[in-house]
């Protein structure tokens, strides 16, 4: 989902707001588990790990630090990170995983929050003995989860790459569309759901709060230039809101960079993605 263009791409990405009980509230961010000795540091991983009552599937290849961790978009799965694995496993370890309810991971009941997803990721990395530092590469909706994880685990994150990813400004675009009468008013109890994943709409505010805690690490944001707008949408205003969201993100990094990519939201052309992942890796001092 493009930053600031969540609602713009709702139809294309099959993301539908649906009412949920008002009692659904965000979970607190758990403290980062202490990584155990990295017994799997030099081996490939393709298995599921218990993260506290349910299991998540993780696949890792390559060796070397930092470890790239790929976060897929809503309704996606770990396979969306395979191109990153292929491109960088000869340099560093690259891990991709299925969030709860997706791919080969367990199904869980109820509406998830960003904190739920971030806590799952922290528990997964600990269970799999994947020690920090991490470079988070986030596609689409995974951008919100990457922000929430980075805000809660600042010392573990060494860099971030956002692939036309969702940012807190998506909610600002929604408000604009509500004001123009183009979509129905959005209640705080609504959610995004796609392909088995169901997230509480408040994930935007979780990410907005986390953004203030994101560490000063190298960040790249790749913004797709090709997308479709619903009839009558104030496209230029929506773009401006999205750009402001990107600017706010990059203002937290002394090595921040935006790249406009001549391509669709998904799949994004691989060459500019590889270039920016490489840039971020090159800026990180070996641990």
**Is residue 277 one of the residues assigned to a domain?**
yes
**Is residue 59 one of the residues assigned to a domain?**
yes
Q: What is the CATH number of the domain that holds 187?
A: 3.40.50.1820
**Is residue 1 one of the residues assigned to a domain?**
no
**Is residue 13 one of the residues assigned to a domain?**
yes
Q: Which residues of the chain have pLDDT under 70?
A: 1-42, 188-190, 192, 286-287
**Is residue 34 one of the residues assigned to a domain?**
no
Exposed, middle or buried by CB within 10 Å (0-12, 13-18, 19+), for 160? buried
Strands 190-194 and 197-200: what pairing?
antiparallel
Number of domains present in the structure of the chain: 1
The domain in which residue 159 lies consists of: 7-25+41-282
Per residue in 45-88, pLDDT (tens digit) is 999 999 999 999 999 999 999 999 999 999 999 999 999 999 99
Let me know: does 201 contact 114? Beta carbons within 8 Å: no
Per residue in 101-135, pLDDT (tens digit) is 999 999 998 889 999 999 999 999 999 999 999 99
**Is residue 249 one of the residues assigned to a domain?**
yes
Rounded Cα distance, 124 and 118, in Å: 10
Q: What is the DSSP letter of 164?
A: S
**Is residue 264 one of the residues assigned to a domain?**
yes
**Is residue 193 one of the residues assigned to a domain?**
yes
Query: pTM of the full predicted structure?
Result: 0.87
Q: Return the pLDDT at 189.
A: 60
First to last CA, the chain: 33
Q: Return the pLDDT at 37.
A: 34
């Amino acid at each position: 989902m493009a930053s600031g263009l969540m609602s713009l791409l709702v139809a294309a990405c099959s993301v539908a707001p649906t009412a949920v009980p008002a009692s659904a509230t965000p979970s607190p961010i758990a403290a980062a588990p202490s990584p155990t000795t990295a017994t799997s540091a030099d081996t490939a991983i393709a298995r599921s790990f218990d993260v506290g009552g349910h299991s998540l599937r993780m696949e890792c290849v390559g060796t070397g630090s930092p470890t790239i961790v790929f976060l897929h978009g809503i309704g996606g799965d770990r396979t969306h990170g395979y191109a990153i694995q292929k491109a960088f496993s000869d340099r560093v370890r690259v891990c991709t995983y299925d969030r709860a309810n997706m791919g080969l991971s367990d199904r869980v009941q109820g509406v998830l929050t960003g904190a739920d997803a971030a806590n799952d990721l922290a528990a997964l990395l600990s269970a799999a003995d994947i020690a920090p530092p991490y470079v988070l590469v986030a596609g689409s909706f995974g951008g919100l989860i990457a922000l929430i994880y980075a805000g809660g685990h600042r010392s573990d994150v060494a860099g971030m790459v956002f692939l036309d990813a969702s940012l807190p400004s998506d909610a600002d675009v929604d408000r604009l569309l509500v004001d123009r009468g183009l979509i129905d008013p959005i209640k705080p109890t609504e959610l995004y759901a796609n392909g088995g994943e169901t997230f509480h709409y408040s994930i935007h505010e979780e990410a907005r709060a986390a953004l203030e805690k994101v560490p000063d690490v190298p960040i790249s944001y790749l913004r797709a230039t090709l997308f479709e707008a619903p009839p009558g949408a104030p496209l230029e205003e929506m773009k401006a809101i999205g750009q402001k969201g990107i600017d706010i993100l990059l203002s937290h990094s002394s090595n921040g960079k935006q790249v406009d990519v001549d391509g669709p939201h998904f799949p994004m052309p691989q060459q500019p993605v590889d270039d920016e992942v490489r840039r971020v890796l090159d800026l990180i001092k070996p641990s």
